[in-house]
Amino acid sequence: MKRRIFGLENEYGLIFSPNGRVYLPMEKVLGYIFEGLIPNSWPSNAFLVNGARFYQDTGCHPEYSTPECDNILDLVIHDKAGERLLEACLPAAEERLREEGLSGEIYIFKNNTDSLGNTYGCHENFLMRRDVDFWKVTEQLIPFFVTRQVYSGAGKVLKVSGKPQYFISQRAQHIHEKTSSSTTSSRSIINTRDEPHSDAERYRRLHIIVGDSNMSEFVTYLKVGTATLVLSMIEEGYAVQGMEFEDPVKAIREVSRDPTLKRKIKLDDGRQLTAIEVQRVYLDRAQEY
């Protein structure tokens, strides 16, 4: 497989639980966390010594972007480093709050939804060739990303009709389009915002916003590794044709709601396959590649 550059962006959930009745803006809590990473400074956007970027994202979420990597294991290590850095900042941030008479605990969550139904993402970025038809690539990638959740979903429990229901993916129920340029309103499986940060005549960015944040290093490795492999084989002409779904947005939600993995997804050609059967098609093609 040819060398490829990729990276991850994780938006973290943030809560301050005070010991008493007090309101504290999350911007202030986040400021103390930033101060723990970069002492004597209150930036909201900074590059760290390991090449990663740490900044405040929409909705006052701390976001950690890994440095650019060309090795999946390196990416997993840098993603885990983001967790460790944020965790290491908490004691100092809580101490700063106590100095102001605001005792309590700060909690950081690596997830994708909160109790109010808001969602925040884990975005995957892949450098891809400009000379390959982007729309043909996305058509072949969408069935893969719709069904990849069977081994990369973080899982969540929601109350549906008064009863708890398990969902495979935290992100799936918040997807509304196949492709779009928005990351906050009409969220899509593949985001079309093209920021290659390289030679734009040769490369473009493939921006995937449908995936879940993962705590498991093995799942992160598998999630990004399989996506890289599938993208490479499609770029080089090993097409995965005839797998287009009749309604990809409906499909991704139905797969997420079915932990038995037996639900059939309707394809454009009338066939019906389970998510595992779809992934098997991509696996067989990858083995040929």
Q: 10 pairs with which residues across the strands?
A: 64, 122
Do 288 and 280 meet the contact criterion of CB atoms below 8 Å apart?
no
Judged by phi (left if over 0) then psi (alpha if -120 to 50, else beta), residue 101 lies in: left
DSSP tag of 236: T
Q: What are phi and psi of 56, to 5 degrees?
A: -90, 125
Q: What is the three-class DSSP state of 177? A: strand
Q: Which residue has the tokens 């909201």?
A: 44
Q: Confirm if 7 and 127 have CB atoms less than 8 A apart.
A: no
Nearest to 126 by CA among 12, 275, 226, 212: 226
Q: Which of 57, 79, 212, 258 is catalytic?
A: 57
Could you tell me the two tokens for 196?
A: 């290659």
Please state, as a whole number, how many other Cβ atoms lie within 10 Å of the Cβ of residue 58.
10
Encoding tokens for residue 235?
């770029």
- Cα–Cα distance between 49 and 10 in angstroms, integer? 18
Return all residues near 184 (Cβ < 8 A) that are at least 6 apart: 58
Active site residue 70: no
Cα 98 from Cα 92, distance rounded (Å): 10
How far is residue 69's CA from residue 80's CA, in Å, rounded to a whole number?
14
Please identify every residue annotated as catalytic.
57
